[in-house]
Chain A
């Protein structure tokens, strides 16, 4: 057991080292762009996974918080000149506040109807922002003011600094998940996810635990929203509240391994690199290819291996490990 944890730490260190030096080795803007997408969606997946994976509250409306984060920081930046670094935290707080009434409403439902209700909340927010023409630019959206190389305003020259911001976000998300996984809260979450009624029967306050994890999940998702619009220099309701964000958050977690620390990361690397390969192979202009492939992968995972890629990897690891152990035993017998 010690060996496993120890080796786990070794691999995490390796992965972190590779992630840190990667942009120094790769100069192609296209590649860096893909890496940033991977880090960002892995981070959104990590945020979704806290609630969807551990507590099994399968939200399909995380775009609501992504959008609120994006709009809060943008409005603060353009209307009041507030730095997006502060706007990012403000967006997180706004998302937390919004998650309270949304959660109060949606947590009355379980399973598929919870998912549908969360879709509805994200869509309502999008429709509202489409209507707010004076306050939030309506359907046309707006571009970010170009401030040149202004790290204090979350604007950088070149893509590499954005890469490190995204990497930092992902690291924060993983550390928070790791901490929660090892705490009482983590056990409560898993209990609620396994069987809510049974968890309540043994004294877990399911309502409170779901509300708390929703607060954390919403906060983190909002940070991703701010980062994304700062990175692409543009915001409109269809980008900020895009249903695809909600879908991809869930998708990367499920494909990678729902309710596991590294699942969303593994899932995003797999899906985004598949998508990038398809893009360079087919070229642009093939609307639908990416999501067709994603949905086929998702169906395959659900039907054959609901524990996701992490499940496959773990099985392979143990099989190799056991084979090694058997061989080790056989050696003295043969000799």
Chain B
């Protein structure tokens, strides 16, 4: 019994690392640009397909293709902010919600047209390997994904606190108008924020590829988790999103273990609705909505 619980917790933490990359992206965009990116999961999907094609056509290991998927998605993010999101800022809820929502629909259905609904997997030497730790069983691919995800989160934290553009981003997140008065160019800061967020989603995609199939709807799983984690962790709070993502991973894993294989999502949604009912401002902050 105890072993089962421990194993479920470990599995949950490992996948929680991936959820963290996605939810940090969502919360970063929300914090800086004040937009909820409904399409964040679809960029994970794009990251997965990039790694899949690099692996099948050029034999590049998915973990190595991280260095390609991240910059590619960074550029996509900058273009997305510059050409689309910028146009709807300040236009009210409807355009802001439905722009990224439409983008999500578009990317899913384009993927369906281009790649079909088939599941694509990449076999790596370490895909099936695992470490036996006492009675615990730790799959290597997931462990690497978790470690890289945590490292990237740490790097982001350092970026936000130690570099000028990072500090400018935090300033713009706190108060856009005052930041502008201090000589910060909001357009540039917003482009970098969306770029970084999408690069994290791309990284999540590449890290998933050794042990998770790519298919057009794959992003929805991750974006739902990310939304719940972002609400739980207080909107715009990066550390909150990280901790909440790990919690979500564990909650989902325990749900699957003890309620039934198809109950993971019910547990997650129940947590979301419960959070909204009890503490709409999230676990880590007093800021409203």
Residues on A lying within 8 angstroms of B by beta carbon are: 56, 58, 60, 105-106, 108-113, 115-117, 120-121, 123-124, 127-128, 130-131, 247, 250, 254, 258, 286-292, 294-296, 298-299, 302-303, 306
Report the Cα distance A295→B91, complex, angstroms: 19
**Is A287 touching B276 in the complex (CB atoms < 8 A)?**
no
Q: Quick one: given A127-B262, A288-B110, A299-B99, are A56 and B93 in contact (CB under 8 Å)?
A: yes
B contact patch SS: helix
**B187-228 with Cβ < 8 A to chain A:** 216, 224, 227
Residues on B lying within 8 angstroms of A by beta carbon are: 36, 38, 84, 87-88, 91-99, 101-103, 105-106, 108-113, 116-117, 216, 224, 227, 231, 235, 262-263, 265-266, 269-270, 272-273, 276-277, 280, 289
Nearest chain A residue, comparing its CB with the CB of B38: A112
Q: Which residues of B contact A108 (CB under 8 A)?
A: 276-277, 280
Shortest 4 CB-CB contacts between residues of A and residues of B: A288-B112, A112-B36, A295-B106, A288-B109
**Is B289 touching A109 in the complex (CB atoms < 8 A)?**
yes
* Extra pairs beyond A106-B276, A112-B38 (12, CB < 8 Å): A56-B93, A56-B94, A109-B276, A113-B231, A117-B273, A117-B276, A258-B94, A288-B110, A295-B102, A295-B103, A298-B105, A302-B98
Q: Which residues of B contact A111 (CB under 8 A)?
A: 36, 93, 96-97
Q: Which residues of B contact A56 (CB under 8 A)?
A: 92-94
Report the Cα distance A264→B216, complex, angstroms: 29
Report the Cα distance A106→B109, complex, angstroms: 29
**Is B99 touching A295 in the complex (CB atoms < 8 A)?**
no
Q: Which residues of B contact A58 (CB under 8 A)?
A: 93-94, 97-98
Report the Cα distance A288→B117, complex, angstroms: 10
Q: Quick one: given A58-B94, A105-B276, A124-B273, are A299 and B262 in contact (CB under 8 Å)?
A: no
Report the Cα distance A223→B84, complex, angstroms: 37
Nearest chain B residue, comparing its CB with the CB of A104: B277
**Is B262 touching A130 in the complex (CB atoms < 8 A)?**
yes
Contact partner of A286 (CB less than 8 A), chosen from B88, B113, B235, is B113
Q: Which residues of A contact B235 (CB under 8 A)?
A: 113
Contact partner of B88 (CB less than 8 A), chosen from A110, A124, A303, is A303
Q: How far is the CB of B281 from the nearest CB of chain A, in Å?
A: 10
**Is B112 touching A287 in the complex (CB atoms < 8 A)?**
yes
A contact patch SS: helix
**Is A105 touching B273 in the complex (CB atoms < 8 A)?**
yes
Q: How far is the CB of B32 from the nearest CB of chain A, in Å?
A: 15
Report the Cα distance A76→B116, complex, angstroms: 40
Q: How far is the CB of A265 from the nearest CB of chain B, in Å?
A: 19
Q: Can you show 14 pairs from A to B with CB atoms below 8 A apart?
A: A56-B94, A105-B276, A108-B280, A116-B227, A123-B269, A128-B266, A287-B112, A288-B111, A288-B113, A289-B109, A291-B109, A292-B106, A295-B103, A303-B95
Q: How far is the CB of A286 from the nearest CB of chain B, in Å?
A: 7
Of B87, B112, B265, B276, most A-chain CB atoms within 10 Å: B276
Of A108, A110, A112, A128, most B-chain CB atoms within 10 Å: A112
**Is B277 touching A298 in the complex (CB atoms < 8 A)?**
no
Report the Cα distance A306→B94, complex, angstroms: 8
**Is B93 touching A120 in the complex (CB atoms < 8 A)?**
no
**Is B269 touching A124 in the complex (CB atoms < 8 A)?**
yes
Contact partner of A127 (CB less than 8 A), chosen from B94, B112, B266, is B266
Q: How far is the CB of A118 from the nearest CB of chain B, in Å?
A: 11
Report the Cα distance A131→B109, complex, angstroms: 28
Q: How far is the CB of B72 from the nearest CB of chain A, in Å?
A: 21
**Is B84 touching A294 in the complex (CB atoms < 8 A)?**
no
Q: Quick one: given A105-B276, A117-B273, are A306 and B95 in contact (CB under 8 Å)?
A: yes
Q: How far is the CB of A139 from the nearest CB of chain B, in Å?
A: 9
Q: How far is the CB of B289 from the nearest CB of chain A, in Å?
A: 6
**Is B96 touching A112 in the complex (CB atoms < 8 A)?**
yes
**Is A299 touching B102 in the complex (CB atoms < 8 A)?**
yes
Of A58, A116, A287, most B-chain CB atoms within 10 Å: A116
Of B91, B98, B109, most A-chain CB atoms within 10 Å: B98
Q: Which residues of B contact A295 (CB under 8 A)?
A: 102-103, 105-106, 109
**Is A254 touching B265 in the complex (CB atoms < 8 A)?**
no
Q: Which residues of B contact A288 (CB under 8 A)?
A: 108-113, 216
Q: How far is the CB of A15 from the nearest CB of chain B, in Å?
A: 26
Report the Cα distance A1→B111, complex, angstroms: 50
Contact partner of B265 (CB less than 8 A), chosen from A106, A109, A123, A291, is A123
Nearest chain A residue, comparing its CB with the CB of B93: A111
Nearest chain A residue, comparing its CB with the CB of B274: A105
Q: How far is the CB of B28 from the nearest CB of chain A, in Å?
A: 15
Q: Which residues of B contact A130 (CB under 8 A)?
A: 262
